[in-house]
Structures are given as structure tokens and as C-alpha cells.
């Protein structure tokens, strides 16, 4: 089948409220969608670039585990932590990764319930990313404790000491929140993938593929009853996951909000953290999607319209985050609490001013460029912006955690935090793990929800012929479209 070039695709970012947006371009039909997605896994030769990337990321994963091994052998002292700053990169990384995980649930659950059809092209990817990000996130609280060999005491396990964990501690709430989130996200992802796994099973050529995909497909036979149950389950899971989108990062923010350190002790944290999490999650999805859709020729499925919608969400959540920053300052002044005021003045003008202004630049100022349509539909611009947001959101957590701890109530204990190479390599290594998992996912699982995409295609709609979809070729209509009649 012919693969249309980007220049030959309709520009579906054109606004025309009278017509529905065409979400799948390139004259695709059900067959071509199935082929495009499943061939990546089953037919196409693994590109050399994949191997190169995989070895690079697996290497970094190795670095991560080496660093963790060194940490376990020597102790938490291998990091740059000190007395006032008891948490720094460890918890920053934890919150950063958990935050990234939020895009998945938001897209899967909330956008599903809101019937946002465009989610179908990116939800599988985003959900996968959620799982991987939570895997990365889960590492940090696990390894940051001093006596890692008894970390299981954090779980409410029956034991001979008859000791329960302290249910008043937000760290324990974290255990439950992140644990629940991980479980539901995994279920959601897997449930949604069952019909596609069955497709892969049916198209498998080798015994192993047939066995593995067959096992994973849970005996899916595409029957009406299956579909009925599936839709019910999916809806229920979406309903379950929706509060989680709000709860996980709210609970994570309680780690700080319920403490009494100035800069942590603020009621605004739960909504502010959730907005920030969605913000960073979408940026990370975009960071990976842009190259992936290009390398695997998925531009007609993950169109600019999808990306533009994501950018709008980024603009919205970025502005919320900016508003939260402003509110923090306002409250610091309005509360009349001198320690609180100092915490914020210190953030902006103290020794960590560089980190604070990096954060503000990346999270508040640059995303405002997305008000301009030309910029938010430009692939290069948006990709750079995603990177900015990723950086900015990491710094946001760093600023909150480290600046607050480094200067609290008694000036005698103030200190400055400097990371060690182990800190840095552990963080870099966590990216290695994340991208290794992403690469494995791309190689072995359907990265686009084929079944779901098909439901939003015009041909799935009996009345599609009556409406002409939005789209602009900015020039001549390509021959294949013209000849194909553009589905009038």
C-alpha cells in the first residue's frame, strides 16, 4: 500500500466549526490501519536504529542499577544529601516520574468519559508511558531509605511484632496511592489492549508469537458478547481511574503539604500538583510521539490535530501552574507569616534563584507561545517546547523540595545541596530504564489502539458521507486523494 508523505496529508488543524475534524488521514481504511500498526510488530524488520537506541538505553539502565548497587553497598551518603536537605534528587525524581505518569490516565479515563475521540490515536502510547513512568517513580522511594533491607516495613504486612505502619504518615498514603495507581493503570492498559493483542495473535507467523499473543489475548474472539463485556469493563475502569488522576498527585503533594516546612506547608499543593502532573505528562508523551510517528510512518494516524490538542492542554495546564506560582507568592505575603514570605523570597532571589527562574521560564513563560497557532502546529517548535516543559517540571519539584528544606526555621542549620555524580547518574539511568521499556513496547506491542482508532474513522460512521471533513492541503490536492474522491 502506498505510504503518503507528510506534505501530502491534509492539514487537519484548520478550524472550521461546521465540519467534524478528520482524525485519520491518508485515505486509510480499517485494513490499512491494522496493517500499519501491526506490521511494525510482526512484519517489518527491526530497524537498525532501534537496536542502537536499545543498546544505548539498556546501557543507561545498567548505569542505574550499578548506581543502585553502589547505594546499597555504601549507604545513602553516596548522594549529596545533608542534614537539612534530607530529600533532594531522590524524591524530586519520584515526583517527576509520577507526574509524567498522569497523562496516561487523563487521556484514558477522563478524555474517554468526555468522549474526546482524538484520544484514540495516542491513548495506548500514553498509557504505556504511564506504566513505565510509574515503574521509574517507584524505584526512588524504594531505594531512598537508609535501611533498604527493611523497606517492606512500609507495607501493612502482618508480622510477629504486631506492628502496623503509621497511618498518619503521608509516606504511607503514598504507598497506597501509587500502588493503586499502578494497579489500575496496568489493568486499564491491558484491558484496552486485549482486542489488539488478538489481532496480533491472528496475524502472527511464528509459533512463539502465536503462543505469546494468544495467551495475552485471553481468548478474545471478537464476539458481540466479548465486545459488550469489554466496553462495560473499559467504562468501569475509566470511571475508577478518573478519581485516581486527581488523587495520586494530590496524595504525593501531601508529603509536602502536611509537613510544616515553609514552602511545603501550603493548601494549594493538591490542585497545583495535579495540573503540573498533567502538564508534564503531556509534554513527555509529545516528546516521544513526535519522533515515533515519524520513524514508524504514523503521521496519518497521529496527526497534527492530535498534537495540537495536546498543546492546548499543555497551554492550559501550564497557565494553571503559572497561576499557582503566583498564588503561592500572594499567599506568602497575604498570610503575614514571615517564615513563609522568606521561603518564597529565598526561592526567587536566594542561592537557588537559578533553579527557580529556570522553572519559571520553562513552565510559565515559554508555553505561552502556544497561544500562537502557527507555533503550536509546528513540529519542531512543539518538540523543543516539550523538552522545556520536561526540564521545567523537574526543576519545579527540585525547587519545592530542596529550597524549602535548605532554609527553614533556624538559620543555623541552613545549608546548600550539591548533587554527587551518583545522584546525577541515577537520574540519567532512570531515563535509560524508561526508554528501554518504551522501546520494548514499540517493538513488541501495538503502539496504537487499532480497535479504538477504527471507531473514530469516518467509515465507522454511517453518515460520514454526508459531511465533508475539515482539512486543508495548502495547495493542490494530492493525486491519490483526488482520485480516491476523498470519501465524498
Partner 1 sequence: MSAYSLEPGSGSPYWRSLQELADTEEYRHLMEHEFPGGIEAPDGMSRRRFLQIMSASIAMTSLAGCRWPVEKIVPYAANTPGIDPGTPIKFATTMELGAAAMPIMVTSYDGRPIKIDGNPGHALSGGAASVFAQASVLGLYDPDRSQTVRRRGGVIGSDSDWASFLAWAQTRFAGGLQGVAILTGATTSPSTQALLRQAAAKGAQIYLHEPVCRLNEMRGLRLAYGTAAMAQLDLSTASLIVDFDANCLQDHPTALRNAKAFAAGRRAEAGSMNRLYSFENTFSTTGGMADHRYPTAARDIGPAVWALAAELVLGEHLELPLGAGVNAAQLGAWRGHAAGGPHIAHLARDLMAHRGHSALVTGLRQDPDVHALIHTLNAALGNVGHAVSYLPFELPPFGLIDELTTQLNGGRVATLVVLGGNPVYDAPADLNFGAAMARAGERIHLGLHDDATAQVSSWHLPAAHYLESWGDAQGWDGSLLAVQPLIAPLYTGHTATELLSALVDGTPRDAHRITRDTFFALAGGQGASPASEADPAFEKRWRAFLHDGFLAGSTRAGVALPFTGAALTAPANGPALGGDNLELTFLQDQSVYDGRFADNAWLQELPDFMTKLTWDNAALLSPATAKELGVVHSDLVELQYKGRSLQAAVYVLPGQARHSVTLTLGYGRDDAGRVGQNAGFNAYKLRTWDGLHRGDGLKLGKTGRQYQLAITQDHHAIDKVGAAEIQKRVPGLVREGTFEQYHNEPDFVDHLGIHSPPLISLWKEFEYTGHKWGMAVDLNTCTGCNACVLGCQSENNIPVVGKDQVARGREMSWVRLDRYFLGDPDDPRCAQQPVACVQCEMAPCEQVCPVAATVHTREGLNAMVYNRCVGTRYCSNNCPYKVRRFNWYNNFEDLTETQRLVLNPDVTVRARGVMEKCTYCVQRIEGGRSIRDGDITPACAQTCPTDAIVFGDLNDKDSRVSKLRELTRSYDLLDYLNIKPRTFYLARLRNPNPAIAGTEGHGGDHGGGHAEAAHG
List residues near partner 1 by CB under 8 A: 74-77, 80-87, 144-148, 150-151, 153-154, 163-166, 168-172, 175, 255, 258-261, 337-339, 342, 345-346, 349-351, 405, 407-416
CB of 418 to partner 1, least distance (A): 8
| Residue 71 vs 217, nearer CB to partner 1 | 71
CB of 133 to partner 1, least distance (A): 22
User: At 127, is the secondary structure helix, strand, or coil?
Assistant: helix
Q: Give percent helix, percent strand, percent coil of the chain, each to the nearest 5.
A: 70, 0, 25
- Name the helix (H) or strand (E) containing 476: none
- Rounded CA-CA distance 347/342 in Å is 8
Mind giving me the DSSP string for 137-203?
A: HHHHHHHSSS-GGGGGGGS----TT-PPP-TT-HHHHHHHHHHHHHHHHHHHHHHHHHHHHHHHHHH
CB of 96 to partner 1, least distance (A): 18
- Rounded CA-CA distance 346/266 in Å is 16
CB of 392 to partner 1, least distance (A): 23
CB of 278 to partner 1, least distance (A): 26
CB of 81 to partner 1, least distance (A): 7
Contact present, 369 and 326 (Cβ < 8 Å)? no
Within 8 A by CB and 6+ apart from 8, the residues are 26, 473, 478, 480, 481
- Rounded CA-CA distance 388/386 in Å is 5
Contact present, 257 and 270 (Cβ < 8 Å)? yes
The residue whose grid cell reads 520536561 is 390
| Residue 47 vs 77, nearer CB to partner 1 | 77
Label each residue of 189-235 as H, E or C.
Answer: HHHHHHHHHHHHHHHCCCHHHHHHHHHHCCCCCCCHHHHHHHHHHHH
Contact present, 201 and 222 (Cβ < 8 Å)? no
The residues with which 472 forms a beta bridge, in sequence order, are 11
CB of 446 to partner 1, least distance (A): 39
Mind giving me the DSSP string for 400-447?
A: IIIIHHHS-S-GGG-------HHHHHHHHHHHHHHHHHHHHHHHHS-S
Look at residues 137, 211, 205, 208 and name the one whose alpha carbon lies nearest to residue 177.
137
Contact present, 79 and 106 (Cβ < 8 Å)? no
- Rounded CA-CA distance 86/65 in Å is 22
Within 8 A by CB and 6+ apart from 336, the residues are none
Look at residues 175, 47, 60 and name the one whose alpha carbon lies nearest to residue 426.
60
CB of 148 to partner 1, least distance (A): 8
The residues with which 11 forms a beta bridge, in sequence order, are 472
Look at residues 332, 313, 324, 431 and name the one whose alpha carbon lies nearest to residue 60.
431
CB of 175 to partner 1, least distance (A): 7
| Residue 46 vs 335, nearer CB to partner 1 | 335
| Residue 81 vs 314, nearer CB to partner 1 | 81
CB of 179 to partner 1, least distance (A): 13
Grid cell listed for 456: 473514530
The residue whose grid cell reads 474526546 is 116
CB of 414 to partner 1, least distance (A): 7
| Residue 144 vs 454, nearer CB to partner 1 | 144
| Residue 82 vs 378, nearer CB to partner 1 | 82
| Residue 30 vs 414, nearer CB to partner 1 | 414
User: At 301, is the secondary structure helix, strand, or coil?
Assistant: coil
| Residue 258 vs 378, nearer CB to partner 1 | 258
| Residue 204 vs 404, nearer CB to partner 1 | 404
CB of 238 to partner 1, least distance (A): 31
| Residue 155 vs 227, nearer CB to partner 1 | 155
| Residue 69 vs 345, nearer CB to partner 1 | 345
| Residue 233 vs 261, nearer CB to partner 1 | 261
CB of 147 to partner 1, least distance (A): 4
Query: Within 10 Å of residue 280's Cβ, how many Cβ atoms?
Result: 33
| Residue 113 vs 171, nearer CB to partner 1 | 171
Amino acid at each position: 500500500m502506498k505510504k503518503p508523505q507528510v506534505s501530502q496529508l491534509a492539514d487537519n488543524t484548520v478550524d472550521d466549526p461546521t465540519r467534524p475534524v478528520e482524525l485519520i488521514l491518508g485515505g486509510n481504511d480499517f485494513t490499512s490501519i491494522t496493517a500499519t500498526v501491526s506490521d511494525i510488530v510482526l512484519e517489518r524488520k527491526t530497524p537498525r536504529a532501534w537496536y542502537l537506541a536499545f543498546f544505548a538505553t539498556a546501557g543507561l539502565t545498567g548505569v542505574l542499577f550499578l548506581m543502585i548497587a553502589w547505594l546499597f553497598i555504601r549507604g545513602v551518603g553516596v548522594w549529596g544529601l545533608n542534614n537539612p536537605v534530607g530529600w533532594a534528587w531522590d524524591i524530586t525524581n519520584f515526583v517527576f516520574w509520577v507526574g509524567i505518569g498522569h497523562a496516561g490516565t487523563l487521556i484514558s479515563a477522563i478524555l474517554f468519559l468526555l468522549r474526546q475521540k482524538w484520544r484514540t490515536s495516542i491513548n495506548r502510547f500514553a498509557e504505556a508511558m504511564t506504566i513505565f513512568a510509574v515503574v521509574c517513580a517507584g524505584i526512588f522511594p524504594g531505594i531512598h531509605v537508609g535501611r533498604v533491607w527493611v523497606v517492606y516495613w512500609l507495607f501493612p504486612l502482618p508480622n510477629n511484632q504486631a506492628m502496623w505502619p503509621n497511618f498518619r504518615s503521608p509516606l504511607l498514603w503514598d504507598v497506597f496511592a501509587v500502588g493503586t495507581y499502578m494497579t489500575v493503570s496496568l489493568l486499564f492498559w491491558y484491558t484496552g489492549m486485549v482486542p489488539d493483542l488478538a489481532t496480533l495473535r491472528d496475524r502472527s507467523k511464528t509459533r512463539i508469537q502465536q503462543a505469546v499473543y494468544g495467551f495475552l489475548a485471553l481468548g478474545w474472539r471478537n464476539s458481540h458478547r466479548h465486545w459488550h463485556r469489554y466496553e462495560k469493563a473499559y467504562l468501569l475502569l475509566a470511571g475508577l481511574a478518573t478519581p485516581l488522576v486527581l488523587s495520586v498527585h494530590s496524595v504525593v503533594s501531601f508529603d509536602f503539604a502536611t509537613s510544616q516546612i515553609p514552602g511545603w506547608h501550603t493548601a494549594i499543593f493538591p490542585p497545583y500538583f495535579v495540573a503540573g502532573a498533567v502538564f508534564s505528562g503531556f509534554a513527555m508523551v509529545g516528546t516521544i510521539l513526535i519522533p515515533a510517528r515519524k520513524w514508524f510512518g504514523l503521521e496519518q494516524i497521529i496527526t497534527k490535530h492530535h498534537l495540537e490538542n495536546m498543546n492546548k492542554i499543555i497551554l492550559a495546564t501550564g497557565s494553571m501552574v503559572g497561576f499557582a506560582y503566583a498564588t503561592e507568592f500572594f499567599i506568602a505575603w497575604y498570610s503575614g507569616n514571615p517564615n513563609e514570605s522568606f521561603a518564597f523570597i529565598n526561592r526567587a532571589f536566594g542561592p537557588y534563584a537559578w533553579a527557580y527562574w529556570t522553572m519559571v521560564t520553562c513552565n510559565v513563560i515559554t508555553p505561552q507561545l502556544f497561544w500562537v497557532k502557527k507555533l503550536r502546529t509546528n513540529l519542531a517548535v512543539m518538540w523543543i517546547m516539550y523538552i522545556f516543559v520536561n526540564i521545567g517540571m523537574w526543576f519545579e519539584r527540585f525547587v519545592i523540595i530542596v529550597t524549602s528544606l535548605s532554609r527553614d526555621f533556624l538559620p543555623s542549620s541552613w545549608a546548600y545541596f550539591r548533587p554527587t555524580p551518583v545522584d546525577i547518574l541515577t537520574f540519567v539511568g532512570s531515563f535509560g530504564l524508561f526508554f528501554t521499556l518504551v522501546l520494548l513496547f514499540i517493538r513488541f506491542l501495538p503502539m496504537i489502539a487499532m480497535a479504538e482508532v477504527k471507531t473514530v474513522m469516518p467509515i465507522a460512521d454511517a453518515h460520514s458521507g454526508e459531511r465533508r471533513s475539515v482539512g486543508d492541503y495548502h495547495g493542490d490536492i494530492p493525486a491519490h486523494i483526488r482520485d480516491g474522491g476523498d470519501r465524498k
